[in-house]
Every structure is written in C-alpha cells, then in structure tokens.
Structure 1
C-alpha cells in the first residue's frame, strides 16, 4: 500500500512564506515555525514525570557542555553511583526483612493470630521480589544456529564496542530495539523490532547494533539487576500505598495512615531516580558514540532521524492492519498482502519529505523530546554526535552479507507480517 502523494503550495498565514504541503503530515512553516507543534498542549505529564524531564534536560545539557569543552565521555563510577547502589541494597533489605519476618511468624506463631500477620507480610513481599526476565513465548527467538550471519555481525560490532555478543535475539514488530538480560545466569538478549530494522539502511542497522551493544559497555547502573529491581520495588510500594480516591470514612483514616510511608517512598524513589539519571544519560551519549564508531557518524545520525519519525512507521503498520481487516474476503491482492508488507513500509518511510524530519527536529528541541525520561533530549544527542570530526565506519555492510542476513530473517519477516495482518 503506497501512499498517494498530493503535494500542493500555499502561503503561510503568519508570514506569507510559500509552504509546500503534504496531506499526510502537519502543515507548518519553516520560516516562522507556524503550526510546527500543534499537539504540544495535549501532553499533561504528572509531577514526577515533569521532574524527570527537567532533570533529563539539565543533565543532558551539562554532559553536552563537557563534550563540547573537549572532555572524553567514558563509563564512570562516582559517589552518586555508589550511593544509588547502597540505597538499592537497602530497598532489597526491606523486602528480605518482610520475607524473613513473615516466615518466622508463620512458623513460630501457631496458636495465635501471628501466622495471619506473617501471611500478610509474605503477600506484600511477593510483588516486591526481584524479577529475572525470561525469553518470550509469543515472539520469534533466534539463536546462533538459526542465524549465523546475524550473530557474526553482532559479534563483530561487539568487538568494536569492546564487549561480548548476545545469546539470543528476539524479533518483534515494534519500531524499536533494546538489550537486556534474562534468566538466573543473566544471559544477554538483543531485541530487534522489524518496524525499525526494515526502515534502516544496512549501515544504519550496524549503527543500531553499535548503540544497543554499547549499553553493555557503558557502566549504566540504572539498568543493572540490583538497581532496576529496586526501582521496580519502590514503584510497587508507591502503588500499594497510593491514596484511595473518593474515600469512605474508614478509607479516610487509611489514607492518613499511608501518608507518611507514601511520602517516604516517594522521596526515596525520587532520590534513587536522581542519583542514577546522570549515569544513564552518560550511557546514552556513550551508546551513540559506539553507534558512530561501528556504523559511521552519518549512519548514527540517520538512525536518530528515523527514530524521530518512528511514529509514522507505526501508523503505517496500523493502517496496513486496518486495511486488511476491512478488505473484502476473497480478494487475492489483500489475501497475500503480507508478502510485500516490509517493502511497503520502507517505501512509505523513504517517501517522507525532508520538511517532516526538520519539523520533528525542531519539535524535539522545543519539547525536550526524548525516547523516555531516562534519555537525554534527542536534539542534544544530535548535537553531541556532531561534536568533532565525523567518524568513519569500522564495520561495513557488504552486499553479500546483507543478502545472507535477508535470507536468515526471511521466515521471521513472514511470521511477523502475517501477525500484523492477522493472516496466520
């Protein structure tokens, strides 16, 4: 399904400058920024979210100033990281204390109400327990034997980054990519969203691998097993102690009882969030530098631009799914629509006008846009990549390698295309 292009010209209502419009995207003026960000007023983040965004911008600007001044980004264990790790251990200590106390009350308190209290404590401790991610059952998972060329490419990029490769690759339909660990042995997992992979050039894909694998090498404490689970536990505490809306008389008393513990949990959560945020932001800048080293500065910038307009890719996939649902049964063209899905997506993204990229860049600077509140604002990441001389690629996407990668991912492409179009 290729978009029909119907571009026209109109004057800007603010400054009169000629605007070339595309009906698929927001009409705006590059000369005076008229209508550049019509959706800005729709966002109403909460207090904690606003604090995180403000800190993300502050830390991002400070780190960018350091890089601009000639300081080299590198993984760093500072006092904030040590304090964050100590607080995280204390949070887990509270969970362990609940478990131990609960077990003792259940075992030693027979003949009284103590076992009931112990059971309550164990019930509270259960959602607070540390979690070990597992590989998904509902997404394709590739191992080295399934995709030797892909794993060889990952290993080559990992060597450039200065880390090891991964044990498994999870492929999804998302316009995203990420790395994590899974299981008790904390094996490495790379998640690749075909919604992103398929709209990148071969060199941009290498930059993507460099960025994601760089997270294993950048010393980010926030996403480590201890700190990440502590943040999850604190968030769970915050939920358990949250204020009951429109309370009854008895619930008013309960809200009052929860007030001080809730404030304490919120304070610790904000503190731990603040202590880990700078290291996480540094880690993102480092991951961007690894992307440039592996795939080139040009490819890393192209990757960032694609991520900026990733919403258009997600919308295109949604339109494909909706079109398939309303298509008449028995239409051969629609019944076999999954075959060209990824090519149509790439063609759609290639048809995006440069004005839309520029609009998204300006919006990112205006809003302080970032992937999430742990990332530096995107416009600061772009500025950091442009600091200094451009970097050449250390890993090159040869045509024969690309052909081999396409062959290895062919079955996964078909599976996920059918899933999107509900054509299994």
Structure 2
C-alpha cells in the first residue's frame, strides 16, 4: 500500500511594522511581535480609581517583587520563611484597636449602671455600647451563593482534599461550596470556625486534574501558614477602624453646629484613618507573604509544572467570562426553537465547551498574556502579589515530584460527584446572562 504524505498548511504571517520580523497571524487572537513587543498589549491598562488606589497598586507591585526575593532567599538558606516582623506589629496594633473597643464596653456599662441619677449618662452609655457592638469582630456566615457539599455528598472530592491537606501540613475542610465564579478561596464560618473551601466551577473546569491538585494545595496552604489579614483579631481590627472612619466622617457644614462637630472630630478622624492605612500596609505585606507560602504548598502538593500551569490559567479569566457571556447570548438568539429548548441546549455541555475553548488557547497567546501581566502588574485582587512574580517564584525551585496525584480515574470520580452542581450552575450561568 502506498503511503500518503500529509502536509500542513504553512502558518500565516505578516511583517512587524516596528522591526520587520515575521508575526504569526491567528484568528481570534492578537497579532503581536515576540522580538520587539509590538502590539503585545493593544488595550489600555486598567485605570486606577484615584491617587490612593494608584498608590496602593504601586505598593502591591513593590511588595510583591520584594517578598518574592525574600521568600526565595529564605528557602534557599534553609531559614523559616514564615516569620515576619510586619505580622507581629500588625497583631499588636490590632490588639490595641480591640482594647479601645473593650474600653467602650466598660465605660458604657459603667455609665448605664451608675449614672441613673443624672438621666444623661445612661443615654451616653447606651450610645457607647451601640458603637462597641458595631466595632466588634463578627463571625463569617456560610455563603449562600452556590451549591453546598458535605462529605457524604462527595466522598471522593473530600478524600482528595484530605490528601492534599495532609501533604501541605494541615487538615481538611468541613464543607465545600461550588459557585459560578472564576476563583477559589478558603475561609472559616460560624462561632466554631468551621472550614469551608469555595471552588469556582468555571475555574475548576478549565484546569487539568493535576492543576486542580495545585489549586487545592494553594488554598489549603492558607490554613497551614495562616493569613492574618483574614484572622479574627486583625480582620476584626480592620473592620473596627473602617467603622471608626465612617462614624467620624465630616458632615456637610450647613450649620454652625456641623462645623463645630467637624472640628472636634478632625483629629480623631485622621488618627483612625492613619491607623487604618498602617494596619492595611502591615497586613498587606503579611498577606502577600502568605500567598507565596501557599504557592509553595501548591508546588509541593502537585509539582512545579502543575503550579505554573495554574498561574497561566489565572491569565485567561477575562476570556472565560467572555465565553460564558457568549454562550448565554447564543442561548438567547437560538432561532425558531422555544426558549426552553434554547436554554437546555446551551446548558448541556456548557462546561465541556468551556474547557475545550481554553484548551485550544495556543502557547503563543499565553506568552503574550504573561508579558501583559508583567507590564500591568496583573494580580487576582488587591491583596495578591503580581501573578508574574508568583509564577516566577514557582518556576524558580528545583523540580520535585508531586506528593498527590490525580489520575483520570480519580478525576472522573470527582466529576461524577460534581455532576449535580455542574448542571445547576450551568442553568444559573445561562439564565443569569440570557435573561
């Protein structure tokens, strides 16, 4: 039998208008030059809303780069990277803030119980107690914006979570919440501070099985290393200082009394604001450090390659959300079929189509997004270090074998347990955008 030779069409290119190098042309993706950087970031950078936000963005960038170097040097030298003087100072400042709240409680009770003869003191005491109630730390409630899973609902998923938790040096979670966000997080809820892991299904579905292990390693790493910004003491102090700043905010000076009150509260207002900025800066440093330590947990649990792949998937978050909106528009403009048929067709296989769309993103586009990430200082939110610095930190270490493996059989078992959540959230996504 004669062998048939298969040939592929040559890649379409165009000359770079800046340096003349050949620029590959791909439908649906930006044309850019890898040699000189032409058109690598055709869209304007996200504007920072005001000077304070711009200053905070610069601080996040500076701290992110600085802490990446510090954590790498500490790890290379065998020192413990989780001892941070900023965290100690933040904890001390937070205790001072809570001491003021405690004084309000004591003073309010004294005025209420001992000042009945005057008639005025109990009123002032009640106001102080009301302010103290607003300043108190509040336990977080279990979010209601997704599908709540307990161990009996998804034993294979919880088994995977437990194994990853053991690999990073902590214990598992009590609850898993699956929602429609392109994100993941951990927190505690209730007075007993039970642990909950939140998995954004759009994020989960575009990851490979081993990248999902890296995601779990990162999130559970927060329990292993801690994050004082969201702790009961420091998080409560940030809340209290924000309440103080709100209570002491100036009122429109329409009357003489308004001007007098504004003058009296001027100094306390700026003290509260200064303490809020100081605690924010101290906890921001500690929070970014915790992110790097959690990234190290992801590497240890899943391997450096899977952890780096996880960082790359963060860069396509906007594209994923755009694809979900496109899918909902397709559902709304479904031709002559009934609305119900259109929605059901769009919901069926939504997550498979989304995963296939992200899997088709070429490496060249990821490289462009990585360059844009470095130019703009992309980060997950205002507390995370820059994504490019996190990726570099993950890739800098020596190759290590994964402590936890998620093969195809295990991934299929977990997917089967998530099937009801996948169906419910596909319905939510399509109807939320399609109307």
Aligned residues: 417
Q: Cα distance, 1:192 vs. partner?
A: 0.4
The aligned counterpart of 2:186 is: 179
Q: Tell me how far apart the structure 1 counterparts of residues 262 and 14 of structure 2 sit (CA, whole Å).
A: 58
2:202 corresponds to 1:195: yes
Q: Tell me how far apart the structure 1 counterparts of residues 363 and 78 of structure 2 sit (CA, whole Å).
A: 32
Secondary structure, counterpart of 1:165 in structure 2: coil
Q: Cα distance, 1:414 vs. partner?
A: 0.6
Residue in structure 2 matching 1:232, options 229, 234, 239: 239
The aligned counterpart of 1:169 is: 176
Quickly say closer, same or farther: Cα 1:11–1:78, change in 2 above 3 A.
Answer: closer
Q: Tell me how far apart the structure 1 counterparts of residues 249 and 326 of structure 2 sit (CA, whole Å).
A: 39
Secondary structure, counterpart of 1:422 in structure 2: helix
Q: Tell me how far apart the structure 1 counterparts of residues 95 and 104 of structure 2 sit (CA, whole Å).
A: 14
The CA deviation string for residues 40-93 of structure 1, in whole angstroms up to 9 with x for no partner, is 444124444334333333333233333554234745344432221121111122
The aligned counterpart of 1:364 is: 373
Residue in structure 1 matching 2:56, options 14, 38, 52: 52
Residue in structure 2 matching 1:313, options 320, 324, 327: 320
The CA deviation string for residues 318-376 of structure 1, in whole angstroms up to 9 with x for no partner, is 22234334545616354332121101111111222333322221122122222223222
Q: Which moved more, 1:176-185 or 1:12-21?
A: 12-21
Quickly say closer, same or farther: Cα 1:126–1:21, change in 2 above 3 A.
Answer: farther
Q: Tell me how far apart the structure 2 counterparts of residues 373 and 44 of structure 1 sit (CA, whole Å).
A: 11
Q: Unaligned stretches of 5+ in structure 1? A: 1-6
Matches within 5 A, 1:8-407: 9-22=13-26, 24-69=28-73, 70-72=76-78, 74=80, 76-110=82-116, 112-244=119-251, 247-249=253-255, 251-327=258-334, 330=338, 332-407=341-416
Secondary structure, counterpart of 1:16 in structure 2: coil
Quickly say closer, same or farther: Cα 1:319–1:126, change in 2 above 3 A.
Answer: farther
The structure with the larger Rg is 2
Q: Cα distance, 1:237 vs. partner?
A: 2.4
The CA deviation string for residues 208-249 of structure 1, in whole angstroms up to 9 with x for no partner, is 0001001111143222211111112222323333455x7535
Q: Which moved more, 1:125-134 or 1:141-150?
A: 125-134
Contact 1:173 1:416 in 2 (8 A): yes
Quickly say closer, same or farther: Cα 1:96–1:409, change in 2 above 3 A.
Answer: same
TM-score w.r.t. length of structure 1: 0.89
Q: Unaligned stretches of 5+ in structure 2? A: 1-10
Contact 2:150 2:175 in 1 (8 A): yes
Q: Tell me how far apart the structure 1 counterparts of residues 110 and 24 of structure 2 sit (CA, whole Å).
A: 73
Tell me the C-alpha RMSD between the 2 structures.
2.6
